[in-house]
Amino acid sequence: MINQTSSMPSSPPQAPLVVEMRGIVKRFPGVLANDHVDFELLHGEIHGLLGENGAGKSTLMNVLAGLYRQEAGTILVKGEPKAFSSPRDAIKAGIGMVHQHFMLVPSQTVTENILLGLDDPRFIMRLPDYNTKIAELGERFGLKVDPRAKIWQLSVGEQQRVEILKMLYRGVDVLIMDEPTAVLAPQEIEGLFVTLRAMIAQGKSVIFISHKLQEVSVIADRVSVLRRGIATASGVPSKGVSRQELARLMVGRDVIFALDKKPGRPQDVVLEVTDVHAESDKGLPALRGISLNVRAGEIVGVAGVAGNGQSELSQVISGMRRCAQGQVLLNGDKISNRNTLFGIQHGMAYVPEDRTHVGSAPNLSVTDNVIMKNFRKPPISKNGLLDMKAATKHANELKLAYDIIVPTVSTPVRLLSGGNLQRVILAREISGLPAFMVAVQPTRGLDVGAIEGVHRLLLAQREAGAAVLLVSEELEELLSLCDRVYVIYEGKIMGEVMIGDDEPDEGAALSLSKGLVDTIGQMMTGTPLDQIQKEGVAAHD
């Protein structure tokens, strides 16, 4: 096993150990997130930490960063045992973490965010002095950002740079990056990698958490893998291990990438979005003339880096946000700038991005949650009264049909796991036999089994002749499910690509999708499709 080879002193490590974690145990109510995990980081390396969602990677690193406290196990930093009771302690020991969800105060400036929690300045802040200092530091590591800008004015990529600067300003030697590429476009990822290598060159070490195999094997010197809280590999040189093997270590079985996707039979246009403009919550333009359509019997994807208007688009379509210009037609009826009820009554289903804050009522029962869309109609409702017997029966049927694991349907949904909650939402939305469905990030944060289930349900909708609009940040997901993909950037559609649905042999598929990924990636960073094609032609000439 890889585990043993790495812990055997067969090849003595060239660089000294910076961090050593031994037998880390961390429990959350109902879950054993880390089960006696060992982890080692060498000086001057980029160490990839691989694992599926929920495997315990972030938990392990949160322990190292002082945010959580382990129940058992020891941490040594440069050979000295350390007990961190807060992130501040960890930073003092030279360990800093950039979280997946940025820890930046939106209403404050870059400089203010970087100074937060430091002892200097003591009391009175003279910001201009610090602005120059921070600009210089950014220069050194190729992290360009305006120190006087307020966080909410920055793009996601710039915010990530602020997070890294925050740690560098504190003089950390070890930087933990939690899923840093999840929010970046392919080209931005390149820039991040350049920065990380610059940091290594200046004597820092990096831990790179990811669930994306390919990235880790590109950037990391060594790799550790976690599966369900257990380390299945620690410190394997990334050159010496195949992707296939890493995948098996991550998932515990051979991964089946192929989905049973039948050839598409698209029919009439169901959803027609024409030149939609809308503002974000902050009052900034979020959509600037979006046009797209979805036909019955096809899944249409919307690809893009988070925060480019996807959320606003789905909200305009579902009726939860007003649009300033343009319109949305559902089977010919105008549904934009009406209320959500109109869409519901005209056969729209909506799987929102935020399961707990939008898609469900946490303290109400499963029954109350599954009747959210059909409580106005018989058999659930008669003459303004609710037939709770019929509602319970309905809930129990859905529980069986969609494998919702819950003791009784009167359990409040806040007690459900993410996957189970998503099944409740999908059960509710699909059982209404929608003509059209918007699904936003339906698999985010779910484990592999749950993701497969969601994918199968979406494909079943397509088979049943529904029109599905799938908004996702996972390119792989879009490529395997969709018939067509639109790419959105800063509230505009950069282009539309067709995904072939016939199954060529594996090699061809790979090169095909390689070219597709490149094209989509370019569009995700703001190059319109026609320009890419023009340049492509020009290159041929």
Partner 1 sequence: MTEPTTLNKRRAPFRFRIEPRLSEPPAWYPAAVSFGAIIVALILGGVLISFAGGDPIRSYLHIAKASFGDIGVLSDTIVKATPIILAALACSVAFRMKLWNIGAEGQFIMGAFGASAIVLAPVLPAETSRWIFIPVMMIAGMAAGAIWGFIPGYLKAKFNVNEIISTLMLNYVAVAWVNFWIFGVWTEGGFQMSPKFPDGAWLPRLSDYAKAFPIFRGLTTHLGLVIGIVAAIILWFIIFRSRWGYEIRLIGDNPNAAQYAGINITRNTIWVMMLSGALAGLGGMSEVGGVVHRLQTAPVAAGYGFTGIIVAWLAKLNPLAIIFVSILFGALILAGREIQPSGVPKMIQGIILVCLIASDFLLRYRVVIERVEE
Partner 2 sequence: MDYTIILQAGIASGTVLLFATIGELFAERSGVLNLGVEGMMLIGAMSAFSTTIATGNPWLGVLVAMIFAGLISQIHAFIVITLQADQVVSGLALTFLGAGISLVLGEGLSKAGTVSLLPNFSIPLLTLIPIIGKIFFTNQSVLVYVGYLLVPLSWYYINRTRPGLHLRAVGEYPSAADALGINVFRMRYFYVFVGGMMAGLAGATISLAVSPGWFSELTTGGQGWIAIGLVIFAQWDPFRAAIGAYAFGALRRLILDIQGPLVLFGFANPFYYNPYLGFFLQMLPYLFTVVVLVIGSREALRKRIGAPAALGNPYVRGERGL
Query: Which range touches partner 2 (CB under 8 A), out of 62-70, 233-241, 345-353, 476-484?
Result: 62-70
Type and span of the H or E element at 7: helix 2-7
Residue closer to partner 2 (CB basis): 202 or 356: 356
Provide the minimum distance between the beta carbon of 92 and partner 1 in the complex, in angstroms, as a whole number.
17
79 binds, among partner 2, partner 1, none (CB under 5 to 8 A by kind): none
116 makes contact with partner 2 (CB under 8 A): yes
Q: Which residues are CB-contacts of 13 (< 8 A; sequence separation ≥ 6)?
A: 42
101 makes contact with partner 2 (CB under 8 A): yes
Provide the minimum distance between the beta carbon of 311 and partner 2 in the complex, in angstroms, as a whole number.
17
333 makes contact with partner 1 (CB under 8 A): no
Judged by CB under 8 A, the chain residues 436 through 465 that form the site for partner 2 are: 445
Amino acid identity, position 435: A
Dihedral through CA 525, CA 530, CA 532, CA 535, nearest 10?
-140
Residue closer to partner 2 (CB basis): 104 or 459: 104
CA angle 378, 383, 385 (to 5 degrees): 85
Could you give the string, one character per residue 149-178, with x where binding to partner 2 holds by CB under 8 A and - elsewhere? -----------------x------------
267 makes contact with partner 1 (CB under 8 A): no
Kindly list the strands in the beta sheet with 492-498, ordered across the sheet, starting from the edge strand earlier in the chain: 348-351, 436-440, 467-471, 299-303, 484-489, 492-498
Query: Which range touches partner 2 (CB under 8 A), out of 41-49, 276-284, 312-320, 422-430?
Result: 276-284
Instruction: Out of 53, 187, 327, 411, point to the residue binding partner 1 (CB under 8 A).
Output: 411
- Cα separation, 96 vs 110, in Å, equals 18
How big is the site for partner 2, counted in residues (CB under 8 A)? 37
Provide the minimum distance between the beta carbon of 207 and partner 2 in the complex, in angstroms, as a whole number.
16
Residue 114 CA, chain-centre distance (Å), reads 25
122 makes contact with partner 2 (CB under 8 A): yes
Dihedral through CA 81, CA 85, CA 87, CA 88, nearest 10?
-90
Q: Secondary structure of 160-224 in the HEC alphabet?
A: HHHHHHHHHHCCCCEEEEECCCCCCCHHHHHHHHHHHHHHHHCCCEEEEEECCHHHHHHHCCEEE
Query: Which range touches partner 1 (CB under 8 A), out of 123-131, 163-171, 174-182, 370-378?
Result: 370-378
Burial (0-12, 13-18, 19+ Cβ within 10 Å), 192: buried
Q: Which residues are CB-contacts of 122 (< 8 A; sequence separation ≥ 6)?
A: none
Provide the minimum distance between the beta carbon of 456 and partner 2 in the complex, in angstroms, as a whole number.
23
Judged by CB under 8 A, the chain residues 60 through 89 that form the site for partner 1 are: 69, 71-72
Provide the minimum distance between the beta carbon of 162 and partner 2 in the complex, in angstroms, as a whole number.
11
112 makes contact with partner 2 (CB under 8 A): yes
68 makes contact with partner 2 (CB under 8 A): yes
- DSSP annotation of 120 reads S
Instruction: Out of 344, 437, 440, 499, point to the residue binding partner 1 (CB under 8 A).
Output: 344
Instruction: Out of 104, 330, 439, 524, point to the residue binding partner 2 (CB under 8 A).
Output: 104
How big is the site for partner 1, counted in residues (CB under 8 A)? 40
101 binds, among partner 1, partner 2, none (CB under 5 to 8 A by kind): partner 2
- DSSP annotation of 3 reads H
Instruction: Out of 372, 390, 517, 532, point to the residue binding partner 1 (CB under 8 A).
Output: 372
Kindly list the strands in the beta sheet with 230-237, ordered across the sheet, starting from the edge strand earlier in the chain: 95-98, 174-178, 205-210, 46-50, 222-227, 230-237
386 makes contact with partner 1 (CB under 8 A): yes
Provide the minimum distance between the beta carbon of 301 and partner 1 in the complex, in angstroms, as a whole number.
22
Could you give the string, one character per residue 1-40, with x where binding to partner 1 holds by CB under 8 A and - elsewhere? ----------------------------xx----------
- DSSP annotation of 461 reads H
Provide the minimum distance between the beta carbon of 412 and partner 2 in the complex, in angstroms, as a whole number.
17
Per the CB < 8 A criterion, the answer to whether 471 and 503 are in contact is no
- The token pair at 430 is 């699909």
In DSSP terms, 26 is beta-bridged to 34
Q: Secondary structure of 305-330 in the HEC alphabet?
A: CCCCCHHHHHHHHHCCCCCCEEEEEE
Q: Enumerate binding residues for partner 2 (CB under 8 A).
A: 28, 58, 67-69, 86-89, 91, 97, 99-101, 103-108, 112-113, 115-118, 121-125, 166, 281-283, 418, 445
